[in-house]
Amino acid sequence: MQPDAVETVTALARAAAPRCGETVVIGIDGPSGSGKTTLAEAVGRRLGCPVLHMDDLFPGWDGLTQAAGLLTEQVLRPLAAGEPAGYRRWDWEASRWAERVAVPATPSLIVEGCASTVRPADGFVAVRVWVEADTGVRMARGIARDGESYRPHWERWAAQERAVFTADQTRDRADLIVRT
């Protein structure tokens, strides 16, 4: 990761005006295995704010296209309106929705994961960060984390990422691009 990435994202977040009610939402987006979670956790520690992981909102391996809408309707729109926000967590082992997770109103919130800045969610995101790495590096990270048996899922997911990010022009709209 670029050595100053955490500092740069933190500075952008501190300077940003809220676009989600009184909450500054920092979206850390990009393809799987690029380093989004690592960056988000470091920025979250620096800002002292919660990190919402998009992995909890995807309805399975074919759910990327639904993610930004779920984030918007369950979390961002309610936060912007000053209403209780939360989402149903996806249980990957049972392949079904699980418990509701409350998202408290907070001055800053990091939303980390694929599609965290994709339309319609982007309208609520004050700082858009795109994290990227070479395809081979990302695949190696994913397989090291999840195991070789997940390769077909990763390949299927990568095809969805390409389609969503291309149609949305997500990278082009980022405030910051971080290469890992």
- The arithmetic mean of pLDDT across residues 15-42, rounded, is 96
Q: What is the pLDDT of residue 149?
A: 84
- The arithmetic mean of pLDDT across residues 138-149, rounded, is 85
Report the alpha-carbon distance of residue 169 to residue 118 in Å, rounded. 8
Q: Write out pLDDT tens, residues 50-101.
A: 999 999 999 999 999 999 999 999 999 999 999 999 999 999 999 999 999 9
Per-domain boundaries in the chain: 5-52+107-179
14 neighbors 50 (Cβ within 8 angstroms): no
1 has a pLDDT exceeding 80: no
Q: Does domain 5-52+107-179 have CATH number 3.40.50.300?
A: yes
For the whole model, what pTM was predicted? Answer: 0.94
Q: What is the pLDDT of residue 143?
A: 84
